[in-house]
């Protein structure tokens, strides 16, 4: 095999890779009314398209489709290979229930039997 591919083939492969990651990944950032798609996400950062470099600052909400997953504080960003890479100062999971101020007992029943 050769290591050389024509420029048109390389561009087509890059476009196909970008399209497949955008189809499969539903993660997005909501910053007020702006919605921007996340390319990659890891424990202490995320990567987006390079055009998000100037638009995104401070506290943001991260969604998977319509489901709210995280709240994050973005502290730094850099452009690296067509991607804008952001670092998290903090990242918190969003829960659907209110936090409890007491410990739940382990002896609570898993379910109730219906009356006969």
Please tell me the total count of domains within the chain. 1
Residue 6 counted as domain residue:
no
Which residues form the domain of 81? 23-93
Report residue 65 CA to chain centroid gap. 10
pLDDT at 114: 79
Residue 47's DSSP bridge partners are 40, 85
CA distance 11 to 99: 49
Q: What is the pLDDT along the chain (116 residues), one digit of tens a residue?
A: 457 788 888 888 878 776 665 555 688 888 778 788 888 889 899 988 887 767 777 888 999 888 889 999 998 788 888 888 999 999 999 988 887 888 777 776 777 777 87
Is 89 contained in some domain? yes
Residue 46 placed within a domain: yes
Tell me, yes or no, whether 64 lies in a domain.
yes
**Residue 33 to residue 49: CA distance in whole angstroms:** 18
Neighbouring residues of 37: CB distance < 8 A, sequence distance ≥ 6: 22, 25, 27, 28, 29, 48, 49
**Residue 2 pLDDT:** 56
Q: What is the CATH number of the domain that holds 50?
A: 2.40.10
Q: Which residues pair with 92 in a beta bridge?
A: 71
Structural domain includes residue 12 = no
Residue 30 lies inside a defined structural domain of this protein: yes
Give me the pLDDT at residue 72, please. 92
Q: What is the pLDDT of residue 5?
A: 80
Q: What is the pLDDT of residue 20?
A: 62
Residue with the two structure tokens 């006969």: 116
């Amino acid at each position: 095999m050769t290591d050389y591919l024509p420029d048109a083939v390389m561009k087509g492969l890059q476009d196909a890779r970008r399209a497949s990651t955008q189809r499969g990944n539903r993660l997005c950032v909501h910053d007020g009314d702006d919605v921007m798609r996340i390319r990659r996400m890891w424990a202490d950062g995320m990567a987006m398209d390079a055009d998000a470099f100037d638009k995104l600052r401070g506290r943001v909400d991260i969604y998977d489709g319509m489901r709210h997953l995280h709240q994050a504080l973005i502290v730094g960003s850099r452009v690296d290979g067509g991607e804008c890479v952001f670092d998290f100062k903090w990242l918190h999971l969003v829960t659907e229930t209110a936090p409890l101020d007491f410990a739940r007992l382990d002896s609570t029943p898993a379910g109730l039997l219906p009356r006969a």
